[in-house]
Amino acid sequence: MSARYLFIVNPNSGKRNSDAIIDIIEKTIPSSIPYDIALWRNMEEFRTIEIKLKNNDYTHAIAVGGDGSVNLVARTILNTSIVLGIIPTGSGNGLARSLGIKIETVKAIQQLLENKTATIDTGVVNNIPFFCTSGVGFDAHIGNLFANLKTRGLKTYIKLVIKEYLSYTPEEYSIEMNGLVLKRKAFFITVANAGQFGNDFYIAPKAKLNDGLFHVVITKPFNVFLGIGTLLKILFGKADKSKFIETYLCNELIITRTKNGTIHYDGEPNEQSEKLIYKLQPNSLKVIIGEAAPCL
């Protein structure tokens, strides 16, 4: 079956102009390759695109947007023969970076045309799919606040982290996995399918997208000065070397907290119950990858 692409564009994602990106797509894709472009501005329009994907003979679904857009497109084609491609336009671009996809639009399109593919694992938390990371605690708190800001980008994110860090109170958690029950007071807990949050911030540097395992990262509370050292280890891909970080491997777990609250999946915030059930789905998504995919 010859390739047929559906480019799914979120015009509200990222700083780059969607009209300019569409123009690049139209100029870069050879005329011999059939493709369509679909824009969505809200969930009602996205549901129409879901139907279009299911009822037509597309071989590739190309998410043009940030991590939230990628998550929506990817969950639509889970456990199908349709291949996920990404043209990253967001602020973090976690899955794209993990798969070695270039941030520059023309280079990302060229990688699509090379059609180098792999099959990766995915995760679900309370039946919500995620592809890079999900978790609770400080990072979920920040994700919730960040989602409601008018100004986005890495600088805004860092300013928000600094502002909220001093007033955040770590919570108590129970983590059940591998027949063990751990009781921990944690700054945050990350369930990592891929190694990074986005922007090449590696919370689980040894995690692979196709190893059949979650890397569960429990970050203990720390003060401001010790936190700088932990942050530097995360920035330089050595989070697992920090004495404030514990890492466990499993393919399913249950996190229980004292009350309902915010979680995140691929950076997207969501309110969930006190009990969070995580399960890994092996070999469930086909993806386009770059030559050097760091999480494979």
Examine the domain organization and report whether 137 and 256 are in the same domain: yes
Examine the domain organization and report whether 253 and 174 are in the same domain: yes
Examine the domain organization and report whether 40 and 113 are in the same domain: yes
Q: What is the pLDDT of residue 166?
A: 80
Examine the domain organization and report whether 28 and 144 are in the same domain: no
Q: What is the pLDDT of residue 15?
A: 59
* Domain boundary, last residue among 93, 121, 149: 121
Examine the domain organization and report whether 108 and 236 are in the same domain: no
User: Is there a domain that residue 219 lies in?
Assistant: yes
Examine the domain organization and report whether 196 and 117 are in the same domain: no
Examine the domain organization and report whether 48 and 70 are in the same domain: yes
- DSSP annotation string for 194-243: SSBSSTT-BSSTT--TTSS-EEEEEEPP--HHHHHHHHHHHHTT-GGG-T
Residue type (1 letter), 295: C
Which residue blocks in the chain are alpha helix, DSSP H?
A: 18-28, 43-55, 67-76, 94-98, 105-114, 138-147, 154-165, 224-235
Q: What is the pLDDT of residue 181?
A: 98
Structural domain including 29 reads 5-121
Question: Can you tell me the distance from the alpha carbon of 226 to that of 208, in angstroms, rounded to the nearest whole number?
Answer: 28
Examine the domain organization and report whether 27 and 165 are in the same domain: no
Number of H helices, E strands in the chain: 8, 16
Question: Can you tell me the distance from the alpha carbon of 152 to that of 38, in angstroms, rounded to the nearest whole number?
Answer: 24
Number of domains in the chain: 2
* Domain boundary, last residue among 68, 94, 121: 121
Examine the domain organization and report whether 97 and 144 are in the same domain: no
What CATH number has the domain bearing residue 46? 3.40.50.10330
Residues 6+ away with beta carbon under 8 Å from 203: 133, 190, 192, 195, 196, 197, 217, 234, 239
Examine the domain organization and report whether 117 and 156 are in the same domain: no
What CATH number has the domain bearing residue 167? 2.60.200.40
User: Is there a domain that residue 154 lies in?
Assistant: yes
Examine the domain organization and report whether 132 and 101 are in the same domain: no
Q: What is the pLDDT of residue 156?
A: 81
User: Is there a domain that residue 223 lies in?
Assistant: yes
* Domain boundary, last residue among 121, 144, 172: 121
Closest among 207, 176, 182, 173 to 192, alpha carbons compared:
207
Examine the domain organization and report whether 135 and 272 are in the same domain: yes
**pLDDT tens for the chain, residues 1 to 296:** 689 999 999 887 765 688 899 999 999 999 999 999 999 999 999 999 999 998 889 999 999 999 999 999 999 999 999 999 999 998 889 999 999 999 999 999 999 999 999 999 999 999 999 999 999 999 899 888 888 887 776 778 778 888 888 889 999 999 999 999 999 999 999 999 999 988 888 999 999 999 999 999 999 988 766 666 777 777 677 888 888 899 999 999 999 999 999 999 998 999 999 999 999 999 999 999 998 888 89
User: Is there a domain that residue 287 lies in?
Assistant: no
User: Is there a domain that residue 295 lies in?
Assistant: no
User: Is there a domain that residue 292 lies in?
Assistant: no
